[in-house]
Each structure stands twice: as structure tokens, then as C-alpha cells.
Amino acid sequence: MSSDKQPQGMATEGVPQGPEIKDKAQGKVCIVTGGDSGIGRSVAAMFARESAKCVAIVYLDKEQKVVSKHGRIDVLVNNAAVQHTVPSVTETETARLENTFQTNILSMFYLAKYAVPHMPRGSAIVNSTSVVAYYGSGSLLEYGSTKGAIVGFTRSLASQLAPKGIRVNAVAPGPIVTPLNPATREQKNLEGWYAKLPPLGRLGQDSSYMSGQVLHPNGGTVING
């Protein structure tokens, strides 16, 4: 029996056969911030596997070098973030608060400001927010506030850039296996955090952590909550 024989009942005659689903980022110039570890590192590795022309793991001062070398930016992934536990609002420290907002949300404004002029129609921006933006966290007051701001930023920027053909979306992951969480929590607090895992009972890895979600690939018609 020929190995390429189609299963019975599957009509393929006359149906256009597309290219193999691989190298989806071939030739694309991609910028990923916060790509030195965790989610950002995985995203950068994924782009590399999909044959991206450039995967730049950057801070703000590196973006112009990417544009100068490649002439455009096809994908901007705003992922860089810092996280600090703050038991009480009375313990807010100005320097730490400003650094958290500068890193987590203000950097996205500046990256978009300087990237958009070099982004062709069909390009995309992806912002990393957090499930904390939706349910809140008493111990992550500063971090959670920035993640909520990212949701509003994403929706407004998506509306603004739609006429240019630039898509803007965000991802709001729950607890994921990354170095960020254990690095920003004391051991006793980390154990308590693990005890309050989501209904699946574990930390997230890849798409096997997706459950009960409704995605809306609708061209921006409905901007969901």
C-alpha cells in the first residue's frame, strides 16, 4: 500500500494544498524583550526554530541597531518585567515603584513609539500581561498594577494601529515555570504560593496549561474582558 494514500472519505481533489507548516517566521525580523530567561527565552527560541531572520533579545538602546541592520521590524514582543512582593501599600518605596512601572509598562510605550514607524502592514505586537491583572494579588500590588495597565495599553494601541494593518494582542499567563517567581519570593512565601495553585493543580508549561479559555480571533470586532 502506498504510504501517501489518503484515508477513505477524505476528499482532497481540487483542494489547494498549502505549504508545510514550518518556518512560519522565515525572514521575519523579531524583537523580544526580557529574552534572557523564562517565557521570553522560550519565545526567542521558538522564533529561531521557525527560521526568523533576526531574534533580538533587547533593551531599549539596542532597537535602533536592529532597524539599521535589517530595515524593518515584523514582530515586537514586549515581555520584560520585574516583580517584587509588597506586603502592604504602606511599604511602597518610590525607587522600586518607579522601576517596576518603567520596566513593565512605560518601556512598552517607548518600544512601540520607536518600533511602529518601522513596522510594515501585517506586522504584530504582543504584550505580556498576567492573570494577576484580572484577579489581583495582595502581595504583588505594584506588579499587578502594571499588568492591569498593560491590558488597557494593548486594547487602545490595537484600536490605534488597526488602520495601519498592525495587530496588537496580549497574553495573560498564570503561574508559569520560570526563574522569576522563586527569585522574587522568600521560601516560606513560595511554599504558600505553591499551595494555592490553579484548578489544574500545577504550574504551566506550554499549551497543556490552557483550559477553560475563550480566544477571540475576530479581527478586533470584540475586545474581550
Of 134, 143, 194, 209, the active-site residue reads 143
Given a contact cutoff of 8 angstroms between Cβ atoms, the answer to whether 204 and 176 are in contact is: yes
110 is catalytic: no
> Which residues are registered as beta bridge partners of 169?
126
* C-alpha to C-alpha distance for 20 and 32, rounded to whole angstroms: 26
SS3 call for 171: strand
Total Cβ atoms within 10 A of residue 221: 6
**Sheet of strand 29-33: strand arrangement:** 54-58, 29-33, 75-78, 124-128, 167-171
* C-alpha to C-alpha distance for 128 and 180, rounded to whole angstroms: 14
* C-alpha to C-alpha distance for 19 and 97, rounded to whole angstroms: 49
The closest alpha carbon to 166, from 91, 217, 115, 130, belongs to 115
* C-alpha to C-alpha distance for 219 and 222, rounded to whole angstroms: 8
Catalytic residues: 143
